[in-house]
Amino acid sequence: MSEQVEINQDLKKYLQELGYRKDTLVDELASETKKLGKVARMQIAKEQGQFLEIIVKISNAKSCLEIGRFTGLSTLYMARGLPKDGKIVTVDTSDEFLPIAEKYWDQDDQVSKIKSIIGDGTEVMQSFIDRQYIFDIIFIDADKNNYPNYYELGLKLLSANGIILIDNMLWHGDVANKKKQNKATNTIRKLNLKIQKDKRVDYVLLPLSDGISFIRKKD
């Protein structure tokens, strides 16, 4: 059985050079986000973004829901993967960084596919359930303590064979460190165990950047 390769500094540098396709617009968005300071760490990695785009394409998704927008990089990638008549709804509690996101969505000609909602993620998801909305793909990258709620609400919003992708499921490696016992770390640990045992879904935890859970809702 093949073992997972250890990501040392040399391999990390190699992946940064060849692990994804370079993109000038994305580089500009990432650069502007970096200038925001410490909050810039909330942005997904570029290779994660291209992974999201590919998943949207190969699944033939037409409707996506995103919980947690920040400066809109993940939104941009998923919108790129959608067909011309596809739609992505992106939800965030704040509009602070929305102007940055909208600038790059517009430059990439993706605005017509994107609807941005400012609000509490759980409340918005519940309102969609009440109105019987269905999505093909849901991407979750928001407040970690609410991850279990987003997961359960997400399953109710998914089409059969729909996909949930959850970021930060390795949580900087803290999930494997027993000394780390803060609320966010323990919440993610428990959710990883729950999803692994959940008979409603197929599942794999991928060590891509900070860890992405890839979850398929069974028929």
Average pLDDT, the chain: 96
pLDDT at 2 over 90: no
Q: Does residue 208 lie within any of the structural domains?
A: yes
Range 142-156 average pLDDT: 98
Which CATH number goes with the domain that contains 23? 3.40.50.150
pLDDT at 116 over 70: yes
Domain count along the chain: 1
pLDDT at 207 over 90: yes
State which residues form the domain around 88: 9-217
Query: What pTM does this model have?
Result: 0.96
Q: What is the pLDDT of residues 38-91, one digit of tens each?
A: 999 999 999 999 999 999 999 999 999 999 999 999 999 999 999 999 999 999
d(CA 40, CA 73): 11
Q: Does residue 111 lie within any of the structural domains?
A: yes
Range 146-159 average pLDDT: 98
Q: Does residue 2 lie within any of the structural domains?
A: no
DSSP 29-60: HHHHHHTT-GGGGGSPPHHHHHHHHHHHHHTT
| pLDDT (0 to 100) of residue 1 | 66
pLDDT grade for 3, boundaries at 50, 70 and 90: confident
Q: Does residue 1 lie within any of the structural domains?
A: no
Q: Does residue 4 lie within any of the structural domains?
A: no
